Amino acid sequence: MFLENNKHKGWIEVICGSMFSGKTEELIRRMKRAQFANLKVEIFKPSIDVRYSEEDVVSHEGHAIHSTPVESAQNILLMCSDVDVVGIDEAQFFDAGIVDVCRQLANSGVRVIVAGLDMDYMGVPFGPMPALMATAEYVTKVHAICVRCGDLAHHSHRLTADDKQVLLGAKDTYQPICRHCFNELMSKK
């Protein structure tokens, strides 16, 4: 197994919330702090996420950090030798294997920081995120501001009629809304 000589205890941190809540900003902040502390870091994202960059993890605010795009969660294990911290963005787009990958990394002494949407545009728990949150030692839920009423938002309202669960987009495709506004919009469908 990799990292057999690592004497540090590993753990899993999950950063979750809606679109435009600052998940990627927080992931980038934590990863840059680890780099500043001279820790060896690796950052990964699903290869389907090419919205702002094919390689970098980029926030909606334009902050970026170099990452490695991967086709599947298992590829992460192949690229994590002798690392202290692993960052994973857009975890909801990975298959359920991402949970075991994160566990293996943490069990081998790696600090794992995962960011992703906790719910899809219909308000349903998204992909492996519930299992990641249950497995994590630390869960941070960040909130956007509802564009309709100004309350805390934790739903990602889709502005298009497309009903695919996975639809990459930004402000042209999604807007953050609160529970009340979400329920109001859903009752009109």
Residues 6+ apart with CB under 8 A from 163: none
Task: Find out whether 113 and 15 touch, Cβ atoms under 8 Å.
Answer: yes
**Chain segment 85-106, per-residue pLDDT in tens:** 999 999 999 999 999 999 999 9
Closest CA to 113 of 134, 132, 94: 132
- 116 pLDDT more than 90: yes
* Alpha-carbon gap, residue 106 to 110, rounded angstroms: 5
Assess whether 137 carries a catalytic annotation.
Answer: no
- 174 pLDDT more than 90: no
Task: Please tell me the CATH code under which domain 11-143 is placed.
Answer: 3.40.50.300
Closest CA to 42 of 15, 67, 78, 16: 67
Tokens 């009340």 appear where? 180
Catalytic residue among 13, 90, 137, 184: 90
The pTM of this model reads 0.85
